[in-house]
Amino acid sequence: MPLPDLRQRQLIPEVMDQPDLDGNAHRRALRALSRINRISNSVGIVYAPLRALALSHSGPEPLRVLDVACGGGDVTIGCAVRAKAEGLPLVFEGCDMSETALGLSRSQASEREVSVHFFRQDVISDPIEEGYDAVMSSLFLHHLEEDIALQLLTNMRASGCRMVLINDIIRSKIGLILAHFAGNVFTRSPVVRFDAPASVQGAFTIEEVRRLAHEAGLDNAEVRWHWPWRYLLSWTHPDE
């Protein structure tokens, strides 16, 4: 089967974004994404800079971390588990628009015995509350039109945080092949099998992400490639 033209983004409506998606199908898809995230080391990608920030922290209060559009919360919870095991001063929160996703997040945090506060918020329309030391997001930027993606990055920067982290997929032929493979090998969820390759077609390239970061005021942001064809945008406040 010939691959689609990936020179330009093609935003294909994803099943996961449908507000009327059946709750059981949604939870099944979120659990499938959690498995794929484990294989892709999503927790490790974002936890490394958070760990470095925590190790350099000398204040009396723990650092607050917000995971934007946290989905099923597996990345948020995974980071919280690692921080708890290391005794690092990191407190995690997660927000999402989906009550189904938030319900799964809360139950998973309880099962893994970590304290993570999950709440509902539209981070595009509403400002991100000040007081977080780091604001991060995994596998969300590719869902957004470019102007809305820029607005999200701007909102994250405007929150006054010390660090911004974006972990997402890269639009590429290899990434598309891997998405088809992961969707058919690691899950039977029809939602993920459709959404995984659609996500790659809507994803940004590393060059496009660097441009968006600059336009959002994240001037010293680093954007680095990570296996399997993902990137991490990492920005720290100039005063750090």
**Sign (positive or negative) of CA dihedral 213, 54, 68, 156:** negative
4-48, pLDDT tens digit by residue?
999 999 999 999 999 899 999 999 999 999 999 999 999 999 999
209-233, pLDDT tens digit by residue?
999 999 999 999 999 999 999 999 9
Mean of pLDDT values over 136-165: 97
Q: What mean pLDDT is reported for the chain?
A: 96
Please name the residue ranges forming H helices in 64-145: 74-86, 99-111
d(CA 102, CA 147): 26
**Chain centroid to CA 96:** 11
152-162, pLDDT tens digit by residue?
999 999 999 99
Phi and psi (nearest 5°) for 65? -125, 130
Mean of pLDDT values over 74-87: 98
Q: Which residues, in sequence order, are CB contacts of 34 under 8 Å at separation 6+?
A: 72, 74
> What is the percent of the chain with per-residue pLDDT over 90, rounded to a whole number?
94
Quickly count: other Cβ atoms within 10 Å of residue 84's Cβ.
15
Element (H, E) at 211: helix 206-215
Per-residue pLDDT, 2 = 74
- Judged against a pLDDT cut of 70, whether residue 1 lies above it is answered with no
